[in-house]
Amino acid sequence: MSANKYKATCILGIVSCGFLASYPFSHTFFGGLLARGFGAAMIGGLADWFAVSALFRRPLGIPFRTAIIPRNREKIFQALIDMVEHEILIKENIKKNLDDYDLTATLLYFTNENSGKQDVKKMLYRFWQDFALQVNPEDLEVLIQDFVEDNMDNIKVLPYGIPIVQWFMDHEYDDKILDLIIEQCIIAAQNEKFVHLLANVFAAVTKKYEHGMNRRKLFNLLMDLSPKQLAKAAQHGLVSILLEMKSPQHPFRLDGKAKLKQFVVRLQNDADFGQRVESWLQQNIIYKFKLGEKISRSMVAVFHKVIRDNRLAVRGMDSLMAQLEIVLEDFTKNQEDRVKMDLYLKAVLGDWLDRNHDQIGRIVKESLNEFTNERLVNFIDSKMGNDLQMIRINGSFVGGLVGMILYILTYWL
pLDDT in tens, 288-326: 556 666 666 676 666 666 655 666 666 766 777 777 777
- Average pLDDT over the chain, rounded to whole? 76
CB atoms within 10 A of CB 127: 10
CB 377 within 8 A of CB 70: yes
pTM: 0.40
pLDDT in tens, 357-385: 777 777 777 777 777 777 877 777 777 77
Distances, alpha carbon 157 to alpha carbons 123, 278, 319, 348, in Å: 32, 7, 28, 26
Helix H or strand E encompassing 300? helix 291-308
Phi and psi for 187 in degrees, rounded to 5?
A: -60, -45
The predicted pLDDT at position 217 comes to 47
Distances, alpha carbon 72 to alpha carbons 75, 77, 79, 94, 366, in Å: 5, 9, 11, 30, 17
d(CA 378, CA 397): 27
Which of 227, 209, 232, 228 is CA-nearest to residue 219? 209
Specify the long-range contacts of residues 224-228, CB closer than 8 Å, at least 24 apart.
227/198, 227/199, 227/200, 227/202, 227/203, 228/195, 228/199
Q: What is the CA radius of gyration of the chain?
A: 44
CB 377 within 8 A of CB 69: yes
The predicted pLDDT at position 183 comes to 82
Distances, alpha carbon 3 to alpha carbons 7, 43, 298, 399, in Å: 6, 22, 71, 21
Is pLDDT above 50 for 23?
Answer: yes
**How sure is the predictor about 17, in pLDDT bands with cuts at 50, 70 and 90?**
very high
Would you say how long the chain is, in residues?
413
d(CA 377, CA 53): 11
At 211 the three-state DSSP class reads: coil
**How sure is the predictor about 149, in pLDDT bands with cuts at 50, 70 and 90?**
low
- Contacts of residue 19, defined as CB under 8 A and 6 or more positions apart, other chains included, come to 35, 38, 39, 41, 42
The predicted pLDDT at position 216 comes to 46
CB 166 within 8 A of CB 264: yes
Q: At what angle do helices 214-223 and 192-210 cross, to 10 degrees?
A: 140
